[in-house]
Amino acid sequence: MTTKRLLVGISGASGAVYGIRLLELLKEAGVETHLVISRAARLTLAYETDMSVSDVEALATVVYPEQDVGAACSSGSFRTLGMIIAPCSIKTMSEIASGTTTNLVSRAADVCLKERRRLVLMLRETPLHLGHIRSMAAVTEAGAIVYPPVPAFYARPQSIEDMIDHTLGRVLDLFDIEVGTVRRWSGKSRKSDSI
């Protein structure tokens, strides 16, 4: 596989902007994206953004309907770098943790795990109860990376967009994809020496 190809899932959790911006960054980086948007995500997009579903789909290279269980990405023979679900709902994570997939988002994620490909779940929920934490442990034991979108304040973000871009840049680091949005830590600053 010479072209970098990444699966992107957008679930119904709050934080649709993470999925949208992820697609924008990957497009700018020349990465081939295969997108699945859940039914609940379509509602969240309408609540949280001014973009239509078709606007978001236009950012991807290939789009699959949520119920298309015969899609290319539902097979392990379809080669990818892996998958990012941004944002990832507790429901989606729990399906992946149990291996009981009900749509193409969780099925494609399940395929990544069985093929030992990288799977990153940008989990959007707080606070967490014990069932959530057990599901987080189960997907981690299966090989996924649970990556809640927690802002890095050492980067001194000046806007919400800065926080989103930094977080997504760090997520893409996990796939060795550089998009130029991470302010890298280089040790403590001179300013802090005097404290």
Instruction: Please give the average pLDDT of every successive group of 10 residues along the chain, which has 195 residues.
Output: 89 98 98 98 97 98 95 96 98 96 96 98 97 98 97 92 97 97 80 54
The reported pLDDT for the residue numbered 108 is 98
The reported pLDDT for the residue numbered 192 is 54
Q: Give the residues across from 78 on adjacent strands.
A: none
Alpha carbons within 13 angstroms on the beta-carbon side of residue 152 total: 17
Under CATH, what is the fold of the domain 21-179?
Answer: Rossmann fold (3.40.50)
* CA separation for the pair 166, 45 (Å, rounded): 21
The reported pLDDT for the residue numbered 183 is 87
Q: Is 37 helix (H, G, I), strand (E, B) or coil?
A: strand
The reported pLDDT for the residue numbered 3 is 82
Compute how many other C-beta atoms are within 10 angstroms of the C-beta atom of residue 69.
12
Q: Give the residues across from 83 on adjacent strands.
A: 7, 119
With contact defined as beta carbons under 8 Å apart, do 123 and 148 qualify?
yes
With contact defined as beta carbons under 8 Å apart, do 32 and 59 qualify?
no
Find the length of the chain.
Answer: 195
The reported pLDDT for the residue numbered 191 is 61
With contact defined as beta carbons under 8 Å apart, do 80 and 14 qualify?
no
Domain ranges of the chain: 21-179
The reported pLDDT for the residue numbered 184 is 87
